[in-house]
Structure 1
């Protein structure tokens, strides 16, 4: 072997090592958490609403393909500032009979179920009994759920592998708009490769790399809200378990997944520590759509508000006012650093209606429609703070004519 060939081989080996060191040094040092510089609202900025962060659609050891006890999940949730978890294991609510629901480590633990149907997947919440029958129609399942005072939510609605088939039954209350696992499945091969490489040194950057605006699911949501109120929410779909031959590591862990995004419910009443009343409060806020969801990884979105007023009446997200009357819509953003410059985009029936910027934005209209907000922020990328993407997603406020409202 010639000396020149050996020298060339050594050169490329050193170049590869230098590139690898530079790549991982850059990735490891990148700050993703609170990249927008968000701060909690000051006491004088707070309103009469109580706001609580939590997650809907995650799995525990009661699912065969997941890991984590209720106790372990509550400890992790408390560490990340979450106030409630709605755990939806596959096709069973055995945790209810085992007494797993309740307050644990300052976190309200609630049990639902993820039910696999021929049309797709749905969550059933606020129930205490469930008998699995995959061949049962959605109609039968919703009828039984309604008799038990529960309610249904469609999940994986835009999943590239198994999206929801057919029309949305009008008894279905809501739609999972953002699903972290679906984000991973649906992103490009390059994004998956980048995320894998980043995960070794910066899990937060890896999570952000696969994040993208869920265009198809948002379009489906907008089509539905043109007809009736439909709740939108975020689901991490966390399992903490993958299978590699006979090895089943706890991946990705709750410590990585829980800070990514969350739902923020709003209520006129506080959580009191009484399980039954607190359970009703959380379920009612979800059922009514009194919530927004946000990518809290890049900044705590607490304090965001989207409200409407007309002739002495007021509405928050999920509520309805009469159309044909001038209505003042108000948007208040969380406090962020000046350099962040978030952008507010208001959609009416799925079409862009108006744009603005914070920290507060107001517009007036009397037109009928479903009005929702997306707040865009600049997301960190490997080569700097590059792309604008949604940080906060509101639920709609509806303006309907009197006959439709009644």
Structure 2
């Protein structure tokens, strides 16, 4: 065989492979055209327990995002969000909260440390002594000294996991689900996961995003371990950079603030600082709920049996899960850690000290005309403690 003949054979093989991959992705594009969301729909209950929805952990052109602050605000408005927590990498210059076309932009920062990434928001004072790739413990202490909320960003991601043990015990929050981590995990399975999702994006962008949602056990196991010392705030992070598009990621998932007495379930205060205070308070207090809203809106979800505003309960307590109107056999309750689901499928018994995670999952559209179980509504975990007389 001549040299040119060998090159030609190799080129034909490469072209054939590309055509196969295009055809494989095209099948998922075709299937995605027929997918309809939401999966669960119903009339909102008369008493609202969830407030304005928004996005957490979003990047702009101030770091490695593809869109300006104004473009992110426009995408959030188009997706029906009321607030966005901006967390550009190592953007240490103090920012003020501001409304842009009705969407509240809340300042924050993602600090790149030598031990992983740490998200900070709700800062009362400027960060002092922080720098890129500083020690993770020093970064967490700096956030605490500034009166802010510290959140471990994508803590078990293969690319940038959190590795400072002592700082992790002190951090206030934990990103349980991360859209960016889903995307990066899919890259390790290019044919079975990434390519089908990219194909679906062309036919139904939100479905393409949802196809990436495949939680593994490691993030939750680590969160429940941290829950042993005190209640933790579990957040879903968009970690949005503009690819997939901001609007598509915002339509796929959101964080919903809790509604306290005297607060509006619909609107934020008109003053940007007051509105940002409510967002920070709602996210930091542990009462916010994450929802993969493409599957359905979470209004009506609640855990009965907990004192108002509390995320701690004694061993032996039984909680009742109330689901949104329209929920049916396509919804199941997932319980992990120190809780167990009782035979009625809606009651959760807390049976030992530790952390208990209670989530609603939905049988949702799969890849190619199939279905699979995906997380729908995700609150923060419950810390289970011994009753005072048992200690």
Structure-1-length-normalised TM-score: 0.80
Which whole-Å deviations, capped at 9, do the CAs of 1:63-89 have from their partners, x for residues lacking one? 1x2132222222221221212110000
Q: Distance in 1 between matches of 2:94 and 2:152?
A: 22
Q: Distance in 2 between matches of 1:279 and 1:380?
A: 36
Which whole-Å deviations, capped at 9, do the CAs of 1:212-257 have from their partners, x for residues lacking one? 02321111111111232111111111112xxxxxxxxxx3221222
Q: How does 1:39-78 map onto structure 2 within 5 Å?
A: 39-43=42-46, 46-47=47-48, 49-63=49-63, 65-78=64-77
Answer with 156-165 or 111-120: which moved more: 156-165
Match of residue 138 from structure 1: 136
Deviation at 1:284, TM superposition (A): 1.7
1:293·1:392 contact (CA, 8 Å) conserved in 2?
A: yes
Q: How does 1:175-254 map onto structure 2 within 5 Å?
A: 175-187=174-186, 188-190=189-191, 191-240=193-242, 251-254=243-246
Q: How many residues align?
A: 360
Match of residue 31 from structure 1: 35
CA 1:224–1:40 in structure 2 vs 1: closer, same or farther (change >3 Å)?
Answer: farther
Structure-2-length-normalised TM-score: 0.82
CA 1:113–1:283 in structure 2 vs 1: closer, same or farther (change >3 Å)?
Answer: same
Among 255, 260, 273, which residue is 2:247 paired with? 255
Among 106, 109, 124, which residue is 2:120 paired with? 124
SS in 1 for 2:251: coil
* Structure 1 unmatched ranges of 5 or more: 1-11, 241-250
Among 358, 363, 369, which residue is 1:378 paired with? 363
CA 1:31–1:157 in structure 2 vs 1: closer, same or farther (change >3 Å)?
Answer: same
Q: Distance in 1 between matches of 2:286 and 2:130?
A: 27
Deviation at 1:25, TM superposition (A): 6.9
Q: Distance in 2 between matches of 1:221 and 1:91?
A: 25
Q: Distance in 2 between matches of 1:373 and 1:214?
A: 16
SS in 2 for 1:384: coil
Q: Distance in 1 between matches of 2:113 and 2:163?
A: 10
Match of residue 152 from structure 2: 154
CA 1:346–1:134 in structure 2 vs 1: closer, same or farther (change >3 Å)?
Answer: same
Between the two structures, name the one with larger relative contact order (CA 8 Å, sep ≥ 6). 2
1:58·1:88 contact (CA, 8 Å) conserved in 2?
A: yes
2:342·2:348 contact (CA, 8 Å) conserved in 1?
A: no
Deviation at 1:121, TM superposition (A): 0.5
Match of residue 273 from structure 1: 270
Match of residue 343 from structure 1: 332
Match of residue 10 from structure 2: none
Q: Distance in 2 between matches of 1:94 and 1:22?
A: 45
Q: Distance in 2 between matches of 1:69 and 1:21?
A: 31
1:112·1:125 contact (CA, 8 Å) conserved in 2?
A: yes
SS in 2 for 1:198: helix
Deviation at 1:373, TM superposition (A): 0.8
Q: Distance in 2 between matches of 1:22 and 1:66?
A: 28
Q: Distance in 2 between matches of 1:336 and 1:385?
A: 22
Match of residue 341 from structure 2: 354
CA 1:93–1:336 in structure 2 vs 1: closer, same or farther (change >3 Å)?
Answer: farther
Deviation at 1:111, TM superposition (A): 0.7
2:176·2:220 contact (CA, 8 Å) conserved in 1?
A: yes
Q: Distance in 2 between matches of 1:53 and 1:304?
A: 14
More strand by share: 1
Deviation at 1:135, TM superposition (A): 4.4
CA 1:106–1:303 in structure 2 vs 1: closer, same or farther (change >3 Å)?
Answer: farther
1:396 is the counterpart of 2:386: no
Answer with 25-34 or 277-286: which moved more: 25-34
Q: Distance in 1 between matches of 2:25 and 2:140?
A: 55
SS in 1 for 2:244: coil
Among 308, 319, 330, which residue is 1:329 paired with? 319
Deviation at 1:106, TM superposition (A): 2.4
Match of residue 319 from structure 1: 311
Deviation at 1:355, TM superposition (A): 5.2
SS in 2 for 1:175: strand
